[in-house]
Chain A
């Protein structure tokens, strides 16, 4: 079967309707994340083999409550559906509706039905509907709505095979629209249908309603629509009001006719009982902070064993390679360049997996929206929005998806402030830097019975990032001026037992993305660095052998000579020269030229720090060492004092620098895309670097 014959099926539904769970069930591991053309909205798609042997491409569109978009993510749904030439324009649509809350879910269904795209209605979460004692007459509902209905329970997977079977059958397009849009604006609709050669009334009506927003229309076409609207007296808001009311009227009649609610209205649901505690004035915040604390403790405590295994395993492997292969430049590049860099990537997988598992868990269970609800008033004081909680918490995983998640914030000012301060939140790339430095200078003790001291210091660093974020937001609140209104209308979904499959897939997806995306950069930089650190053009580097002989005298052992030679070569290599060049600037922070090299390479991405350190110290050390990077760092001596280089003062100064500095090219690129210009990423970079430098200076002087 050729690629061109593949049918495209779009999954559309309200947020919290279990759409993503259904998507995961249909596609399994056959998923990929890309971008919709022209916009930065994540496009999740995957392939599903149908019972008749055809392969369908399933596209998971962002959740939305109606075809009128309120956020940038929702805009995509509209673009894909209204633009007949859109590359993702679906052949069939699966509307996923929450069976336990059908009235609101059906609004979107009726709108898309009237666009004339063949569709199928999935009533998901049938288990919840049963729990709510709703008796649904599926046959009656199907006749009244004029659509094929498949009941499913995406949690248990019930109904998925019926759905796959139904997708192979041709779906009949109903001749009459569900709701008569035509009578709202007959002249406008007729004219637009004629000028744009459209067949459905509702599509023409949407062109009139949304002309300004539709990216696929040219300015000329938009002007044309506006002229038609003015000539025929079409007003957006009152017409939309009338449409929504009319649709709900029909939906309400149908739902009341086909669904009988036999629940005792006085009995409290589980969600209500949980909410009473979770949004409580005292327990609410207590639970929120305990939850965050648990995450940090888990990242340190649970990840340690697998991390040690990975670190040790690669060190072993590196030695094995050195033993097997002849001692030459290629082997050096392989072990000191590539393997050392690879170790720096793989070792974070356990921590990243744990962090993303928790974030997925909070989202899946429904707790995240309660955190938004609890924090809104507090966040507003700092110029943010309750919805900023999600980007800020996701920012602890990675600023890039977090900044993209700000699209759910409708107000531009709130959104810009959130984008600006999110990179202050300690992301997972900083974690390895913290981890290694904390491991060096903070003892692995238990305090107050069960708190791990290293975990507490880590938590302190995250807190520091959070304080910097809201502090900066507070300042920006007064600098930025706007007249725009902010909205905060949000569903609090019922609590759900998270789907382990969804969480598993998130962990897999994020870890894989990290290894491949970050891994590429890290390994490339490791190789460049190895070259820069292994070669030099100045006289000292060329005459290294003679110079070192003279320095240490003839009676030194071969081993001592080799160590001294390697160190001398590194100091006079190209990388060494770079490091020395910036040393005067970073000297006040307690850093030497070796850390200088790491700071420079960290501007590509922070996690490169550890890889850089291990490359630098592998090159500097003798060939037959089998130590891990942590041991290498603790053995490093300050060239002037002979004391350990990584004293608490230097280590804490470095931690604070990494906590605040904008050292991530990808984040800058995303901010550029999201703010549509270089102004904000540049201000952000200068501001964050200044904060980092001054704070590190302060910390170094306090500790030394």
Chain B
């Protein structure tokens, strides 16, 4: 199972679920819902954090947080 952290720049995926309950609530509030399409828009110069396009806006998060978001194959 791939996570959001493993996507390459400009790659797209659909959120399948989360592997962390506490973080999932925060992420869902920000529009990262299961079934939503996300794309990796920016990766900071040293590889972390990343910025994703979700629900029509740009959200930045760290690699380890992105690793909590599972992507549909």
Contact = CB atoms under 8 A, between A and B. Distances in A.
A65 B30 contact: yes
B51 interface: yes
A500 interface: no
Contacts of B56: 100-101, 103-104
A386 B51 CA distance: 14
A349 interface: no
B11 interface: no
B24 to A, nearest CB: 7
A241 B25 contact: yes
B37 to A, nearest CB: 11
A101 B57 CA distance: 7
A281 interface: yes
Interface in B35-73: 41-42, 44-49, 51, 55-62, 65
Contact of B29 (A244, A280, A281, A386): A244
Contacts of A275: 41-42, 51, 58
A514 interface: no
A237 interface: yes
B28 A491 contact: no
B35 to A, nearest CB: 10
A104 B31 contact: yes
A638 interface: no
B30 A492 contact: no
Interface stretch (A197-205, A220-228, A369-377, A579-587): A369-377
B34 to A, nearest CB: 8
Given A488-B62, A489-B61, A374 B29 contact: no
A241 B44 contact: no
A487 B28 contact: no
Contacts of B65: 487-489
A376 B62 contact: yes
A516 interface: no
A103 B28 CA distance: 12
A380 B62 CA distance: 11
Nearest to B29: A66
A7 interface: no
A245 B32 CA distance: 10
Given A66-B29, A279-B45, A376-B48, A487 B23 contact: yes
Contact of B55 (A103, A280, A489): A103
Contact of A68 (B29, B31, B46): B29
Contacts of A648: none
B42 to A, nearest CB: 5
A107 B49 contact: no
A279 B59 contact: no
A603 interface: no
A636 interface: no
Nearest to A16: B57
Contact of A490 (B27, B31, B48, B59): B59
Contacts of B45: 279-281, 284-285, 374
A179 to B, nearest CB: 14
Interface residues of A, number: 40
A488 B28 CA distance: 14
Contacts of B42: 275, 279, 373, 492
A104 B33 contact: no
Contacts of A272: 41
Given A279-B45, A281-B45, A377-B48, A492 B58 contact: yes
Nearest to B22: A237
Given A103-B31, A376-B49, A279 B25 contact: no
The interface centre, meaning the residue of B23, B47, B49 with most chain A CB atoms within 10 A of its CB, is B49
B31 A489 contact: no
Given A272-B41, A285-B45, A241 B24 contact: yes
A271 B41 CA distance: 11
A237 B21 contact: yes
A491 B59 contact: yes
Interface string A78-106: 00000000000000000000001101100
A492 B33 contact: no
Nearest to A271: B58
Contact of B25 (A100, A103, A240, A494): A240
Contacts of B24: 241
Among B41, B44, B46, max chain A CB count under 10 A is at B44
Given A66-B29, A68-B29, A488-B49, A373 B41 contact: no
Contacts of A238: 21
A66 B30 CA distance: 9
Nearest to A377: B46
Contacts of B60: 369, 372-373, 488-492
Interface string A362-395: 0000000100111011100000001000000000
B33 A489 contact: no
B30 A488 contact: no
Contacts of B31: 103-104, 248
A93 B30 CA distance: 22
A294 to B, nearest CB: 21
A477 interface: no
A240 B27 CA distance: 12
B26 A374 contact: no
Contacts of A107: 29
B12 to A, nearest CB: 11
30 contacts: A100-B56, A101-B55, A101-B57, A103-B56, A237-B22, A241-B21, A244-B25, A244-B28, A244-B29, A245-B33, A248-B28, A248-B31, A284-B45, A372-B60, A373-B49, A374-B45, A376-B44, A376-B48, A377-B44, A377-B46, A377-B48, A488-B61, A489-B27, A489-B59, A490-B60, A491-B57, A492-B51, A492-B59, A494-B57, A494-B58
Given A101-B55, A279-B42, A285-B45, 11 more contacts: A101-B57, A104-B55, A244-B28, A373-B44, A488-B60, A489-B59, A489-B61, A490-B60, A491-B57, A492-B58, A492-B60
Closest 9 CB pairs of A and B: A281-B45, A492-B58, A104-B31, A377-B46, A244-B28, A488-B62, A66-B29, A101-B57, A489-B61
